[in-house]
Each structure stands twice: as C-alpha cells, then as structure tokens.
Amino acid sequence: MPPKGEVLGPARIAGIMAAKKTPELIPLCHTLALTKVDIEFEWLDERNALRIEALVKTTAQTGVEMEALTAASVAALTVYDMTKAIDKGAVIESVKLLAKSGGKSGDYVSPLQKAFKAPSAPARAKPKTIMNEVSAPRPGPHAQRDAFREFMASNRLRPTTWAKDAGVPAALVLAYLTGQSRALSPDTAKKLARAANVRVEDMFQ
C-alpha cells in the first residue's frame, strides 16, 4: 500500500474539526463557540517522535480541555492513518492536559508544565500528546522525495529500523520524509543505500 501523501496538513485539519465536534463525540459535553483552535507539530529528535500540541480558546464561562484533548487525539490518529503503510509500529501515547485557564474549576497546571501562564501572557501552555516512532511521509516539491518514499514502501523499509541498520539518526530520515529537510546528506544517503544493498541513485529513481 503506497503512502497517502502529505500528512501534517490533513492532521491539522482533522484536529481542528474534532475540537468543533467534541459535543457530538463525548456525551454531555456542551456545545461551545470556540474562538481559536490551533494544532502544532514538533519533532523530538532525541526520541524519534512527533509531538502534537492543541490549544483551544473560548469566551464561554467554561473550560475547553475536552476540546483540546479531542483535537490532539484525532490529529495523532490521522498521522497514524497517513503513515501506517510505512510503519504500523507507530505508537500514540501520553495524551494529557498540561494546563488550563478559566472555567468553574479555575486554573490548572500539570506538574509537567511549571511555567504555565494565562493564554493572554507571552508564554502559553497547551495540552499535548506525544507520538513515538512516527513516520510521516510527505511529498516534496521535486520527484526525488516521492521516489524515495516509493522505494521504502516497495521494499517494506521501516524508517526507524532502516536508520538503525545504517547507523544514522532516524530523525534524519523522518525529517526528509516529512519535508522538514530538503535533502539527505551524501553521507547519510550512502549509509542508507549500503544498508538496503542498493546504489544511492536506486533510492531516488
């Protein structure tokens, strides 16, 4: 099964839609007028993971933590759906509320978020979910990245396992697949080709 294409864009849209549809998904959640829904992504190179952050705001006199958690969860599920053709071993974990402001229960700060301030302050906290070993293929502006993704899919190469066999950081492969980096370095490409027992040019044709 070939990769489905660009990943983070659809995941962001899915998260925003999920936040707005939370009352339809979670029993007894109130329908709220949301003033802002923001989904952000950050690569965690040291863990070969993708962090998904959701921030939700409303002028209503109630908290929107369920909307934020739902947004982060659905965005993570979308990333998995878009990348499972390359790596079905991706894991979604640690869906948690880090901070909230307002509502009947007042402010809340998770022990993991020590520097939380109200949303109007410069430093804002966001509910987060962390995804371990997520491979996120994303076609680039040229054909080389598409060919590289097709090469991986046709040879059933998992990015984390392939990178480990080649002796290169998996984050370099994941960043290239998602368009975070424009190209693999010559040294990285040579090591990957050697591990796959092919020529470098075979990976990009």
Catalytically active residues are 81
Cα dihedral sign, 167-172-177-178: positive
Measured from the Cβ of residue 27, the count of other Cβ atoms closer than 10 Å reads: 6
Q: Angle, to 10 degrees, between the axis of helix 170-178 and the axis of helix 159-166? A: 130
Residue that is written with structure tokens 């480990």 in the block: 164
Separation of alpha carbons 58 and 36, rounded Å: 7
Cα dihedral sign, 176-179-180-184: positive
Task: List C-alpha distances in Å: 137 to 59, 68, 146, 153.
Answer: 37, 25, 9, 10
Separation of alpha carbons 172 and 185, rounded Å: 9
Separation of alpha carbons 86 and 159, rounded Å: 8
